[in-house]
Amino acid sequence: MRPMIDGHLDLAMNLVYYDRNITLELAAMNVAEQGLVDQPFRGKGTVSLPEMRAAGIGVCLATLLARSGPEHRRRAEYRRADLDYAIPSGAYSSCWAQLGNYHLLERAGELVRLTTRRQLVDHWNRWISRTPDETLPIGIILSVEGADPIPDPDHLEEWYGWGVRAIGPSHYGQGRYAAGTGTPGPLTPLGLRLIDEMQRLGIALDVTHLADVAIDQALDRFDGPVWASHHNCRSLVDWDRQLSDRHLQRLIDRDAVIGLAFDAVMLAPGWVRGSTSPETLSIEAAADHVDHIVQLAGSVRHCAIGTDLDGGYGHEQTPREVRSIRDIHRLEAIFERRGYSSAEIDAIFWGNWLRKLSESLPEA
C-alpha cells in the first residue's frame, strides 16, 4: 500500500460539532454512534486516526472550519464564549475550540503540527521508513476553510503563529471575505485586504469553494502558492462547487495542485442527498476526474488526493466501494489499468502534495 497525503480533512470539526471520538478504531467509532439520529452519517463514518494510519496517511491538511458571514443564521452548534469578541456567530470561539482539540491530540501523540519545510520533510522521511509495529503521529498542516472566523486581516499574523499555513477565503454562501459555493460574486473589500496579508505572511491560497468571480480576482491579485484542496471537474458534474475547465487551466498555469474529493455529490451528476443510493456510483468516477485534469495539463503533476471524507457525511454519500478512507487505495489498480505508471500513481497519492507543500512552507 502506497503512502498517502490527504489535502483536506475536517478532523477537529468532527470533535467539536459532532462529539466524535476519532481516536477510536473505525468500527468502534461507528458503534459508539449507534442510536444517534441528529445526523444522517451517524454510524457510517469513514475516517478515524487509526484508520488514517492504516491507510498510510502520514500527512494531511487539517481544517479550522466555522461558517459565519453577513448572511449567517444562528445555529445550535455555535456556542458563545468569552473569546467570542468579534463575530456574533461564535465562529472565532469555535475555531479556538478546534485548535484546542488539535493541541490535545498533539499532547497525546496522535498528531504533530507541521509548520516548516524542514519539519514536513523530516516527518515524511520518518513516516515512509517506519517499521510495521511503529506508531507515529500523523502530521497536520493547518488550513482555514472559510475565513469568516478571522475577525480582521490585521489579526492574521496571530493565526500564522498558531500554525495556519493555508486559507480558503469562503465556504458556502456569502462570507465576510468572499462569495462562496452557491452565491455568485467577488471578493469583498475585506477579502482583498485578506489576500494581501496572506501574500505578506506567506500563507497559501486555497481556491476551494470560492465563487467564479472571486477565484479570478484572487488569482489575479495573489502571487504566492495556490491550490484547490478538494475540488473536482465541472465538465463532468455541472455545479458551481466544481472547477470549470477555464479555472482548471488557470490553476495548472500557476503550478497548483488539485485534490480529488470523494463526496458523491461531486462525483455523480444528479446525486440527491439522502435519496440516491451509493450502489449507483463506482469509485471509477473519481478516476474520471483525474483523467480529465491530466488531459488538460498533459501530465499528472497537478493531480492529488483531497478526500473530504469526514466533511459532514459518511458512506451513505460515497462511491459504493468506499466504506473507509483505506478504500481510496482501490484507485491504484484503476489507474494501473488506465495506463498510469507507478511513478505517476505515487505522484497522485503523495508526491505532488509533498512537492507543493514543501515549496509553500517556510524553511524554518
Fold classified for 4-360: TIM Barrel (3.20.20)
Q: Cα(243)–Cα(247) distance, rounded to whole angstroms?
A: 6
Per-residue pLDDT, averaged over 151-163, amounts to 96
Instruction: State whether the Cα torsion 51-326-64-253 is positive or negative.
Output: positive
Show contacts of 76-84: CB within 8 Å, 24+ apart.
77/16, 77/17
HSE-CB for 334 with a 13 A CA cutoff:
17
pTM of the model: 0.94
What is the per-residue pLDDT for 265?
97
Q: What is the pLDDT of residue 92?
A: 83
For the chain, what is the mean pLDDT?
93
Please tell me the predicted confidence (pLDDT) of residue 274.
93
pLDDT in tens, 255-289: 999 999 999 999 999 999 999 999 999 999 999 99
- Which residue from 144, 139, 143, 145 is spatially nearest to 114, judged by alpha carbons? 139
Does residue 346 have a pLDDT over 50?
Answer: yes
Q: In which band, very low, low, confident or very high, does the pLDDT at 364 lie, cut at 50, 70 and 90? A: confident
CA distances to 115, 119, 359 from 363, rounded to whole Å, are 9, 9, 9
Q: What is the pLDDT of residues 78-133, one digit of tens each?
A: 333 333 334 434 788 889 999 999 999 999 999 999 999 999 999 999 999 999 88
Q: Which three cell numbers stand for residue 24?
A: 477510536
70 has a pLDDT exceeding 80: no
- Distances from the Cα of 69 to the Cα of 16, 92, 159, 277, angstroms: 20, 12, 19, 33
- DSSP single-letter state for residue 350: I
Average of per-residue pLDDT across 68-85 = 40
Q: Once rounded to an integer, what is the mean pLDDT over residues 331-341?
A: 98
Count Cβ neighbours within 10 Å for each residue of 315-336 and write b for 16 or more, e otherwise.
Answer: bbbbbebbbbbbbbebbbebbe
Closest C-alpha among 284, 289, 204 to residue 245: 289
CA–CA distance from 126 to each of 57, 248, 364 (Å)? Answer: 13, 34, 18
28: pLDDT strictly greater than 90: yes
**pLDDT at position 74, please?**
41
CA torsion, points 142, 19, 318, 43, in degrees to nearest 10?
150
pLDDT interval class at 6 (50, 70, 90): very high
Question: Distance between CA atoms of 44 and 27, rounded to whole angstroms?
Answer: 9
Helix and strand element counts for the chain (H, E) = 13, 9
d(Cα 3, Cα 129) in Å, to the nearest integer? 11
Counting residues of the chain whose pLDDT is more than 90, the rounded percentage is 91
Rounded to an integer, what distance in angstroms lies between the CA atom of residue 57 and that of residue 307? Answer: 11
Residues 6+ apart with CB under 8 A from 113: 102, 106, 139, 140, 141, 142, 163
For the cut 60, the answer to whether the pLDDT of residue 72 exceeds it is: no
Burial (CB < 10 A; 0-12, 13-18, 19+), residue 34, is exposed
Q: Count CB-CB contacts under 10 A for residue 233.
A: 23
Burial of 269 from C-beta contacts in 10 A (0-12 / 13-18 / 19+): exposed
- For a pLDDT cut of 70, what percent of the chain falls above it? 93
Coil/strand/helix, residue 238 = coil
**Residue 294 pLDDT exceeds 70:** yes
Q: Which of 53, 34, 61 is nearest to 325 (CA)?
A: 53
The CA-atom distances, in angstroms, between 106 and each of 23, 112, 221 are 12, 5, 36
Q: What is the per-residue pLDDT across 216-251, written as a single tens digit (0 to 9) for each?
A: 999 999 999 999 999 999 999 999 999 999 999 999
Q: Which amino acid appears at position 233 of this protein?
A: C
Q: Is pLDDT larger for residue 86 or for residue 350? A: 350
Mean pLDDT for the stretch of residues 175-185: 95
H-state helical runs in 33-130: 49-54, 91-107, 117-128
Res 67: pLDDT:
66
